[in-house]
Structure 1
């Protein structure tokens, strides 16, 4: 079946350049720079549809490797230890070109702003006993007290330091930008210090608790948080929003381009989502229109005023503001004129949303239906795959149709609108015909196989035509909307 699900998410073997803007006018001009991954270019690449965008999916190990490669590269160029280079990169949000330029021009200022200070490249700190030391946190003055201080020389006992770091990592979820516990100190705790203090303690707990899963989770949490910070800091990397998904997706589409493209990406976990807003796939509607469509408008039914300004008088409004109330009622009268138009689009949006849920329920029963068809007709497993393909096509088309009505609601009328509505109508009719065939009894499905395969292919092609048409006109700025996209 022709579908964008066959699109290979690893079609490009190079990473995307953070500093380059995506040229939406000419896809052939898009180039990427390697930042640490092995080339996976293939001799034959699938043709990319107008509504598709380039993207790559990475697992945690690949993200860690990419992060380590950049740290080592910057450490070599700047002559700093890896732990200091990591802090510098996090401060610059992993824009290494900008970091190197600024470092070469204003080294002292860059180090100070990043929380390293001028002594960043000196010998690493260590745990030691200091004669006559009194901890400023717990006031312990034991002669055999182990103490620790970073290069800022704010010294505390090891127990207090460990407790401080443990709270930051486990309770507050902080890892990349933990500051020295000294009052007013801006120095950042580097990975060497954390290795000395936190790692050894958690290792000890791990041994004592005899390989407890809880202890192992605490032991790994710091690295997990660093990886999360790395992804969150980079504009072209985002975590898949699916529950319990471990993958991150890289896409070159910038925020400023979201008025011209709907960047839907496909994670290896099987979920599709918009890279721009991380909501579920909402093609062909741009993110700004989706936000407007889903937004809740709250107001007081008594005085028609803004709900948030009612303070403690909610549900018991005692306001009387003749002017504002009159204006609100005038606006309400005008809005009634457009209510019928809104309901036209919303009802169809809601119908396709409900139908998609029903189709999904049917999909969950598809395998059982396929097994029954094998048993009753003697068809092989391969021969009954047309049911699975039809079920997937129905879900994909319903999702697109749902958002075409939200898209159409904000469209201003012109010649393109008529073409869009024709494409929408063709797809809708094809989907309803396929859905009707899909619900036929088992004993009729064998005779309908060829027709179902034809309808499945037709639905997929009509969906691609509709998405390509809307994407091309959106990119070219040909659509007129009755609301601003920005």
Structure 2
């Protein structure tokens, strides 16, 4: 049989204790220490200001590719394999060389098999079993020469027949011994890459076979378009496989962000917002494409779902409509009288208690003649539904107002630029000196985003003394934001530009300070588990 060259050659290979990796100076370093050193080397991360902040570092595609090469080279040196095999093993173990090393030296054959790199297991194969421990040795060398085919071969997929002398050049068999013609391999691989967006885990065409197609084989068979896409997908899987890396979700950005300590288990205590090299923020925890502080990831998802689905339509219906107790038709009250008649079945009932209208007699304002609990339940249910809807709308309207303001940031910047030009033309101020207007717009937008999420947070908070302080801080920031926004909207008076500059700088600093106060307090409260929440419907 022929081989794609991706399986490891264990001829004369000794599985011995390896103390680590030898560097350029001849000293030994364990793979764990090497990977830690690699992590520290990639860092250059900002120093954490508070315990609820995270350290992170944006990574370009070139940096990601270099990191992959470093890890692949180290694993190649450790287990004496080719780069394609090392990369496949690393992908299977999510680019964790320590875990790979432990598993491989404990059970080499099982580790290779799990990664889709097991050697041929066919009875006709001459491959000897792999050693079971790191002290075992492969016996004598085995021959890699294959017998020359004497019979023709028919591709199981396209049914083309190949003469014995064509088999080696026109067909391909992986280490699993499943042979197909190269034309079928090419079509299969290109479809997997271009249509299904698969890369590092493409498996053999044989149904049920878990053999992974190596990188060298893919590159040798597919066209240039598929090659380029394949390399892009390999980079993406490197990031997707690592809990310490995440792609920036903003359109057109090709950066990923590295965070050595993954915050996944602390998302009820911290809100891991990172600033990408493209200039945008996103949440490392939930992948949300903007800064959603001070609301935690869990409640951001609940809030988005509540705002997006039809649950509030249901709340409105419960608060403003009732069902006929006879035919269950939905009825909306269109007048002040409580005497209702169902247009569908003509059943007459009381809107207040939903009891039969005939039982009310002449005292139709009095619903106490019916079961008290039934009447009370009907009134309580409607009152609670109406109160729930009003509460939601209170917070949603304020949240949506700041959301809309954030969407208008482009127009705000256009207005700001015009205002800066007016100031420059109407005074002796230089372009640098009028930058305070742009800073005011930046601070205003950031404060509005923070305010927006404080309203979503307040919706889920349980009321106590802490929430009263939170709402006081929220009100102070709201007032300061509106005052600064009014300053930016006012027309410019050439005679008062210097006073305007002084007032705007002071108000900008005040808004920034108020925003920092509420964010620091809420983030500290999350970290200390001070806030209490409820999953409201």
Same fold (TM over 0.5): yes
Question: Aligned residue for 1:482?
Answer: 534
Q: Secondary structure at the match of 2:257?
A: strand
Cα–Cα, structure 1 residues 47 and 133, in superposed 2: closer, same or farther, change >3 Å?
closer
Question: Aligned residue for 2:274?
Answer: 265
Q: Quote the Cα distance in structure 2 between the aligned partners of 1:392 and 1:416.
A: 30
C-alpha distance after superposition, 1:413-450 (max 9, x if no partner):
22221221121112111111111111121335443111
Question: Aligned residue for 1:114?
Answer: 115
Alignment match of 1:442 (pick from 475, 492, 511) = 492
Q: Quote the Cα distance in structure 2 between the aligned partners of 1:474 and 1:441.
A: 42
Question: Aligned residue for 1:138?
Answer: 158
**Structure with larger RCO (C-alpha < 8 A, sep 6+):** 1
Cα–Cα, structure 1 residues 409 and 131, in superposed 2: closer, same or farther, change >3 Å?
same
Q: Quote the Cα distance in structure 1 between the aligned partners of 2:297 and 2:381.
A: 27
Two-structure CA RMSD over aligned residues (Å): 3.4
Cα–Cα, structure 1 residues 77 and 328, in superposed 2: closer, same or farther, change >3 Å?
farther
Cα–Cα, structure 1 residues 104 and 39, in superposed 2: closer, same or farther, change >3 Å?
closer
173-182 or 351-360: which moved more?
351-360
Q: Quote the Cα distance in structure 2 between the aligned partners of 1:123 and 1:228.
A: 39
Question: Aligned residue for 2:523?
Answer: 471
Q: Quote the Cα distance in structure 1 between the aligned partners of 2:61 and 2:149.
A: 39
Q: Quote the Cα distance in structure 1 between the aligned partners of 2:284 and 2:194.
A: 29
Question: Aligned residue for 1:48?
Answer: 49
Q: Is the Cα–Cα contact under 8 Å of residues 284 and 407 in structure 1 kept in the other structure?
A: yes
Alignment match of 1:221 (pick from 226, 229, 236) = 229
Q: Is the Cα–Cα contact under 8 Å of residues 349 and 406 in structure 1 kept in the other structure?
A: yes
Q: Quote the Cα distance in structure 2 between the aligned partners of 1:99 and 1:431.
A: 53
**Bigger Rg, which one:** 2
Q: Give the structure-2-normalised TM-score.
A: 0.71
Question: Aligned residue for 2:421?
Answer: 371
Q: How many pairs does the alignment contain?
A: 419
Question: Aligned residue for 2:9?
Answer: none
1:340, distance to aligned residue in structure 2 (A) = 2.8
54-63 or 78-87: which moved more?
78-87
Q: Is the Cα–Cα contact under 8 Å of residues 239 and 256 in structure 2 kept in the other structure?
A: yes
1:249 matched to 2:301: no
Q: Secondary structure at the match of 1:187?
A: coil
Question: Aligned residue for 2:38?
Answer: 35
Q: Is the Cα–Cα contact under 8 Å of residues 175 and 222 in structure 1 kept in the other structure?
A: yes
Q: Is the Cα–Cα contact under 8 Å of residues 269 and 529 in structure 2 kept in the other structure?
A: yes
Q: Quote the Cα distance in structure 2 between the aligned partners of 1:390 and 1:288.
A: 32
Cα–Cα, structure 1 residues 93 and 368, in superposed 2: closer, same or farther, change >3 Å?
same
Q: Secondary structure at the match of 1:245?
A: coil
1:361 matched to 2:411: yes
Q: Secondary structure at the match of 2:212?
A: coil
Cα–Cα, structure 1 residues 35 and 125, in superposed 2: closer, same or farther, change >3 Å?
farther
1:388 matched to 2:396: no
Cα–Cα, structure 1 residues 291 and 183, in superposed 2: closer, same or farther, change >3 Å?
closer
Q: Quote the Cα distance in structure 1 between the aligned partners of 2:392 and 2:39.
A: 50
Uncovered stretches (5+) of structure 2, i.e. residues with no partner: 1-31, 121-126, 131-141, 319-328, 331-343, 345-353, 355-374
Cα–Cα, structure 1 residues 347 and 123, in superposed 2: closer, same or farther, change >3 Å?
farther
Q: Is the Cα–Cα contact under 8 Å of residues 136 and 156 in structure 1 kept in the other structure?
A: yes
Alignment match of 2:509 (pick from 454, 457, 466) = 457
46-55 or 376-385: which moved more?
46-55
468-477 or 393-402: which moved more?
468-477
Cα–Cα, structure 1 residues 67 and 426, in superposed 2: closer, same or farther, change >3 Å?
same
